[in-house]
Amino acid sequence: MRNGSFALGLAALTLGGAGLSACNSQPAVEAAPPLTEAQAGAILSDFAKAMGSMDLTAIDKWYANDIVAYEPGKAGRVSGQVTMHVSNAQFVDMKFDKAEMPDPKIQILGPNLFIASGLARLTSSAGKVKEADIRYTEVFQKQADGSWQSIHENVAYPSET
C-alpha cells in the first residue's frame, strides 16, 4: 500500500505540475515572418529616394538613435543620431538630387535585420552637374514601430584602378 500511495502521489504531482504549467504559461510569441530579398530591396529603394530628396528630415528618419557610421572625408566614426544629422546636413549641402543603388547585394540576417551593400551613383541637376560614385554598406533593422532604420553605415569612395 505504501508503494501504491507513493506512485499515486507522484502521478498527482506530475499531472498537477503539467496542469499548473499549462495554466501559468505565457502566450506564445508569434515569430516574425521571414524577410524576403524583394522586401529588403524595396526598403533600400525607399532609402535611396530619401537620399535623393535632399530633405534633411526625410533623410534623418532613416538613421537609428544609436547609428554608427563611417563617412567619406571624416577621420573617425560618426556615432549617434545628432552627429549623423550634422553629417546628413553636409550631404544635403552638396545638392545631390538623385541616388541610384543598382544591383545591391542583400544579405538577410533575420526577419528584422538585413545588410545592403554595393556601388551607388549620386548626381546633381542643380547648378553645375556633379557626379559621385560611392561604395556603401547599410545595416537595416526593423524598429518597434515597424519602421526600418540604418544602425550601421559605411560609405567610401571606390579606389581608382
- Name the one residue in this structure whose C-alpha cell is 551607388: 120
The Cα 127–Cα 11 span in angstroms is: 84
Question: Which of 96, 108, 26 has the alpha carbon at shortest distance from 55?
Answer: 96
Q: What is the pTM of this model?
A: 0.78
- Over residues 28-61, the pLDDT tens digits come to 556 778 999 999 999 999 999 999 899 999 999 9
- Over residues 93-109, the pLDDT tens digits come to 888 888 889 999 999 99
CATH code matching the domain that covers 37-156, chosen among 3.10.450.50, 1.20.140.10, 3.50.50.60, 3.30.420.40: 3.10.450.50
Is residue 106 within 8 A of residue 37, CB to CB? The reply is yes
Confidence of residue 24 (pLDDT cuts 50, 70, 90): low
